[in-house]
Amino acid sequence: MMADWISWTPDLSLNIERIDVQHRELIKRFNDLGDAVWDGKGKEVIGNILRFLADYTVQHFQDEESLMDLFNYPDSVAHKKAHAELVAEVTDFIARFDEGSVESHLVISVVDRLGHIRGVDMALGQYLTDKI
């Protein structure tokens, strides 16, 4: 077990408890994935973590998008597009994993996309701060 691949830090908080809890869970599971790959765990273990992450991410995005709709978030179209792109990348990543071919550039691409999502989430959190 290594140190965290991604660490939760206070600056990641959107100050929306439900979303912060979900973000912490995603980071925890992403760290589990990193450890599983690092430790050479089997394909079944890694696949289970990937599928959990994919399913949980979809649910998390639905929760965020319902808040955007509820509070008429002005940048919701771009934010939802970023969500859809990440879901497509993760879906493609899992399909390639299932076929037995995961290239490191795909992992880097997904991590980069997570960084982008983090940025747009911060804007959403700032918008919602005085509304929730």
List pLDDT tens digits, range 9-24.
888 888 889 999 998 9
Amino acid at 47: G
Average pLDDT over residues 44-56: 88
* pTM confidence score: 0.82
Residue ranges covered by each domain of the chain: 13-128
Please give the share of the chain, as a percent, with pLDDT higher than 90. Answer: 29
Entry field: residues in the chain: 132
Architecture of the CATH domain 13-128: Up-down Bundle (1.20)
CB 71 within 8 A of CB 131: yes
pLDDT attached to residue 58: 92
Pairwise CA distance, residues 8 & 86, whole Å: 20
pLDDT attached to residue 79: 93
pLDDT attached to residue 103: 62
Q: Cα–Cα–Cα angle for 88, 90, 92, nearest 5°? A: 70
Pairwise CA distance, residues 23 & 72, whole Å: 22
Pairwise CA distance, residues 74 & 102, whole Å: 37
pLDDT attached to residue 3: 66
